[in-house]
């Protein structure tokens, strides 16, 4: 019996070719490519795709071959994968959950500490050799409205609570007795919650319902001078409205790891705003994460080859609702 075939696709412009897949080679025939046309050719007799870079849109390879059964994403975000064609098919989509969530939560905590302790000013004062002694804020008693109670949100919630932060979780629907969060508020309650938040953290997936959830009206509802942190998706934020809110002081600081257009264009106003912290979609990038990502894929590959249920299956329909 011939081996099943998997096409592994990575983005050539990043140079981020996946590390060795020799364990996977024992289970299936694996073709690794960064060339779109080569990938299309190899996909004609393949049963699975491993998108090493989750920024690669699956639409590049549509119409998808009839024998395709499984798409695995080497990250958490699957917005570029869940196209109408994929949703209407029997193709199973999985992602890399369980590896990246805690590093993202550490990023959120680190950013909050940087702002509260005014580390940027301290670093600048050191550069200028200025003895600039001053008072700074504490995270104890700080209130965070956390919009997105998924895997990332759970890690953020736990880590912030350990540091004395009051965290108010918000999801698409209200839940009264969640085992981790307790009460989860609904998005409809944001108008009452945003005015009391010192920081708003976004960790939502991008759907038609959540697109630009933070727009001009939401920024006006925020406490003046509060901070916005986005580790979800760039499309959650109306970026021109955020620029205006930052310029007016309505939003005091913003820490953004994701953007509507990536890489962020060099002429974007965010680059030149002192109150904005720009990071290049790297909050989950942990030393050794590539090897952990491959290990996660190989575990699922073994399940797929042996026709066992896959882990980390994505609810495709929920992402287009």
Residue 298: CATH number of its domain: 3.40.50.720
Give per-residue pLDDT as tens, 292-319.
999 999 999 999 999 999 999 999 877 7
- 292 and 201 within one domain: no
* Cα→Cα distances 276→116, 230, 245, 272, 273, Å: 14, 11, 12, 8, 5
Distance (Å, rounded) from C-alpha 189 to C-alpha 180? 20
Count of domains observed in the chain? 2
Q: Is the pLDDT of residue 260 over 60?
A: yes
Instruction: Kindly state whether residues 152 and 248 are assigned to the same domain.
Output: yes
Name the packing angle between helices 101-116 and 119-128 (round to 10°): 60
Q: Identify the band that residue 17 occupies on the pLDDT scale cut at 50, 70 and 90.
A: confident
Query: Which among 26-35, 193-202, 289-298 has the top mean pLDDT?
Result: 193-202
The pLDDT value recorded for residue 143 is 98
Does the reported pTM lie above 0.85? Answer: yes
Considering the domain architecture, whether residues 136 and 248 belong to the same structural domain is answered as yes
Say yes or no: 135 and 240 in one domain: yes
Residues 6+ apart with CB under 8 A from 60: 36
Token digits of residue 132: 């600039």
Identify whether residues 15 and 86 lie together within a single domain.
yes
Query: Could you tell me if 67 and 9 lie in one domain?
Result: yes
Q: Are residues 109 and 120 in the same domain?
A: yes
pLDDT of residue 56: 86
Same domain, 52 and 72: yes
Mean pLDDT on 266-290 = 96
Residue 320 has a pLDDT of 61
Q: What is the pLDDT of residue 14?
A: 57
Question: Is 85 in the same domain as 141?
Answer: no
- pLDDT, residue 1, reads 58
Average pLDDT, the chain: 94
For residues 186 and 310, state if they share a domain.
no
Domain check: are 40 and 110 in the same one? no
Average pLDDT over residues 51-56: 86
If one counts every other C-beta atom within 10 angstroms of the C-beta of residue 281, the result is 19
Q: Are residues 69 and 191 in the same domain?
A: no
Q: Which domain, by its residues, includes 221?
A: 101-278
> Residue 106 — very low, low, confident or very high, per pLDDT cuts 50/70/90?
very high
Asked if 291 and 19 count as a contact pair (C-beta separation under 8 A), the reply is: yes
Greater pLDDT, 82 or 132: 132
């Amino acid at each position: 019996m011939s081996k099943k075939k998997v096409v592994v696709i990575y983005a050539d412009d990043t140079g981020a070719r996946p590390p060795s897949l020799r364990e996977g080679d024992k289970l299936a025939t694996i073709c690794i490519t960064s060339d779109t046309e080569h990938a299309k050719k190899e996909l004609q007799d393949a049963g699975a795709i491993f998108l090493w870079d989750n920024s690669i849109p699956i639409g590049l390879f549509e119409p998808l071959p009839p024998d395709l059964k499984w798409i695995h994403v080497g990250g958490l975000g699957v917005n570029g994968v869940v196209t109408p064609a994929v949703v209407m098919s029997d193709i199973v989509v999985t992602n890399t959950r369980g590896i990246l969530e805690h590093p993202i939560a550490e990023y959120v905590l680190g950013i909050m500490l940087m702002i509260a302790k005014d580390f940027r000013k301290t670093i600048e004062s050191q550069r200028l050799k200025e003895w600039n002694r001053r008072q700074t804020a504490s995270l104890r008693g700080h209130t965070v409205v956390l919009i997105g109670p998924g895997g990332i949100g759970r890690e953020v919630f736990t880590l912030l609570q350990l540091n004395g932060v009051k965290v108010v979780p918000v999801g698409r629907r209200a839940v009264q007795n969640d085992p981790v969060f307790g009460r989860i508020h609904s998005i409809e309650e944001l108008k009452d919650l945003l005015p009391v938040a010192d920081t708003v953290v976004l960790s939502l997936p991008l759907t038609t319902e959540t697109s630009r959830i933070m727009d001009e009206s939401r920024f006006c509802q925020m406490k003046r001078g509060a901070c916005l942190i986005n580790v979800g998706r760039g499309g959650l934020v109306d970026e021109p409205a955020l620029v205006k809110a930052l310029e007016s002081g309505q939003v005091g600081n913003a820490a953004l790891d994701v953007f509507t257009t990536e890489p962020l264009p060099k002429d974007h106003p965010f680059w030149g705003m002192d109150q904005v912290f720009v990071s290049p979609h790297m909050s989950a990038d942990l030393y050794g994460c590539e090897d952990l990502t491959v290990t996660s894929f190989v575990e699922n590959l073994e399940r797929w080859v042996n026709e066992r249920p896959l882990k980390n299956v994505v609810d495709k329909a929920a992402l287009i609702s």
